[in-house]
């Protein structure tokens, strides 16, 4: 067949369709979703000539394998990983031509967590509330990829970038997250606030698209009591009963009842998306809400 589609040969640990997400629906209880490493997704789209918001594939840790039914131009970026076409190594971070029926293999990340696969024309699954993103919390959008699934592709509209390779930042050895304290930092005493902004945490293996969980010193509340549920924003640092901070990422719930000690600057969240379990994490105060 020569129709514009991708056949999923190997879905990998978790591969989802992502674009720029569906912001503006929090009042309906719908998370933002979208690519966790938005700059990486936008770059691979640019490399193949797509608009920045075209839908791409976001892989987790061990990549995926795809077979296009017609010749396509692809680019793989984000977490560095080996890329091959029919067993032959090809460039990572650059546009690559894949013939019809050839096997595109996106290997395991050698650094970082999430790699991004853009195909010229974009992944053209049916949009939901204006986005093609998979939302793991609400279940909106297409389901995570499974072996044998077929993904339709859109028609090319742009021209692939004329580059040999595009520079991309390597995942950081240490994650430094700038935070603005509040709105519920008053629920924690001076000792807890000092620990939060001076001690080193580590990325927990329990992290996912909903939140980056941390292991480290527990933050004790200043008093007893519970908050009523209130709105949550991207980057909110919520402190659950175990006292270990959780940084909310793209699929975060829109409301929550645990106190938010601070909010991470948006510019620092792509690095959080690429932090492997065990990565040191420091929260650096950049102001107060």
Percent of the chain with pLDDT over 90: 89
List the structure tokens of 31.
């998370």
210: left (phi over 0), alpha (psi -120 to 50) or beta: alpha
Statement: residue 2 has pLDDT above 70: no
Q: 88: Cβ–Cβ under 8 A, 6 or more apart, which residues? A: none
State residue 288's pLDDT score. Answer: 62
pLDDT band, residue 289 (cuts 50/70/90)? low
Statement: residue 279 has pLDDT above 90: yes
State residue 230's pLDDT score. Answer: 95
Max Cα-Cα span within the chain = 66
Statement: residue 281 has pLDDT above 50: yes
pLDDT band, residue 1 (cuts 50/70/90)? very low
Please, what is the Cα angle at 202 between 198 and 204, to 5 degrees? 140
Q: How many CB atoms lie within 10 A of CB 176?
A: 12
Statement: residue 85 has pLDDT above 60: yes
State residue 169's pLDDT score. Answer: 77
For 120-143, what is each residue's pLDDT tens digit?
A: 999 999 999 999 999 999 999 999
Residue owning tokens 């106190």: 259
Strands 175-181 and 280-288, by their bridges, are parallel
Please name each of the domains of the chain with its CATH number: 5-152 (no CATH), 175-288 (2.40.100.10)
State residue 234's pLDDT score. Answer: 96
For 190-243, what is each residue's pLDDT tens digit?
A: 999 999 999 999 999 999 999 999 999 999 999 888 899 999 999 999 999 999
Statement: residue 28 has pLDDT above 90: no
Beta bridge partners of 92: none
Q: How many CB atoms lie within 10 A of CB 68?
A: 24
pTM, whole model, 2 decimals?
0.95
Percent of the chain with pLDDT over 70: 98
Statement: residue 88 has pLDDT above 60: yes
């Amino acid at each position: 067949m020569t129709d514009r589609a991708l056949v999923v040969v190997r879905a990998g640990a978790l591969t989802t369709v992502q674009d720029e997400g569906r912001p503006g629906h929090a009042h309906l209880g719908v998370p933002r979703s979208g690519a966790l490493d938005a700059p990486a997704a936008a770059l691979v789209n640019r490399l193949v000539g797509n608009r920045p918001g075209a839908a791409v594939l976001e892989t987790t840790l061990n990549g995926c394998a795809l077979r296009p039914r017609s010749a396509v131009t692809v680019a793989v970026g984000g977490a560095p990983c080996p890329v091959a076409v029919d067993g032959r190594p090809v460039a990572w971070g650059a546009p690559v031509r894949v013939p019809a029926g050839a096997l595109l293999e996106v290997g395991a990340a050698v650094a970082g967590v999430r790699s991004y696969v853009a195909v010229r024309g974009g992944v053209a699954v049916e949009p939901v509330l204006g986005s093609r993103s998979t939302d793991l919390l609400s279940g909106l959008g297409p389901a995570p990829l499974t072996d044998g699934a077929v993904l339709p592709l859109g028609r090319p509209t742009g021209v692939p970038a004329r580059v040999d390779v595009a520079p991309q930042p390597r995942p950081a050895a240490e994650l430094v997250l700038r935070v603005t304290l509040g709105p519920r930092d008053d629920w924690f005493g001076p000792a807890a606030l000092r620990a939060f902004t001076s001690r080193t945490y580590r990325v927990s293996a329990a992290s996912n698209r909903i939140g980056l969980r941390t292991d480290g010193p527990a933050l004790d509340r200043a008093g007893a009591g519970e908050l009523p549920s209130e709105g949550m924003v991207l980057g909110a640092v919520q402190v659950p009963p175990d006292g270990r901070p959780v940084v909310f990422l793209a699929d975060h719930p829109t409301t929550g009842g645990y106190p938010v000690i601070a909010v991470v600057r948006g510019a620092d969240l792509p690095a959080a998306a690429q932090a492997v379990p065990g990565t040191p994490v420091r929260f650096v105060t950049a102001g107060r809400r």
